[in-house]
Amino acid sequence: MKRFSLAICLVLALVGAGIAQDKAAQSNIVLDKMRQIDLLNHILPLALKKEQILKMLPVIEKARRDVKLQTDEEAKFLAQNAAKVDKAVKDGIEKGDVPDKQLLRELNAMVRVFAMKRAAIASDNATMVLDVMKTTLNAGQMKVAANSLDFKIYNPNVKPEDIKEEDRLKLFVQEVILDPLAYDLLVKIQAGARG
């Protein structure tokens, strides 16, 4: 009887874990759709034409490849250092060893390098996409893009008079056009867009 109740408890625990994972996956789907709504709130007022989106998509694809290359490089580097990290965690838990200061310095340096590379790629990608937008969108569409986001939310210390239109446009590209969920939206909008 004990084995039977233990087996039932194990099955219920596994089912519970499966339900929890399923709920988390369902929550992520809803969160992605909520983000898509927010992106549409910024993209649709541009009233992009099919040919405009078609001109923008290749440069967005290149930006996405650049991000993926950086992510892959980080994953490779992390995999190379996983054993050291695992050992430090294991020694901390099992032996009470405080992580080595040299290891902490190495890990902090690694994180800083990753952050700097990501920021440089994000800036380069935003400039690249913005250059295409400048030659593809009309003045009205560019004005809508520039005024779409509240710059103060992203940089609360900046004075409104110090914010240049170029900075507003670059922020729009980084936060909206280059959002990972925006690409599929643009493809779908393009498929249904008028001339």
pTM above 0.85, yes or no: no
3-state secondary structure of 60: helix
For residue 3, the model assigns a pLDDT of 46
Which residue from 126, 1, 123 is spatially nearest to 56, judged by alpha carbons? 126
For residue 18, the model assigns a pLDDT of 63
Name all contacts of 134-137 with Cβ < 8 Å and 24+ positions apart: 136/52, 136/55, 136/56, 137/46, 137/48, 137/52
For residue 24, the model assigns a pLDDT of 76
For residue 5, the model assigns a pLDDT of 54
The 10 Å Cβ neighbour count of residue 71 is 13
For residue 1, the model assigns a pLDDT of 41
For residue 9, the model assigns a pLDDT of 52
User: Please, what are the averages of pLDDT over each run of 10 residues along the chain (195 residues)?
Assistant: 51 60 79 91 95 96 96 93 91 90 90 94 96 97 93 83 90 95 95 67
Distance set, CA 113 to CA 26, 70, 81, 83, 110 (Å): 34, 11, 15, 20, 5
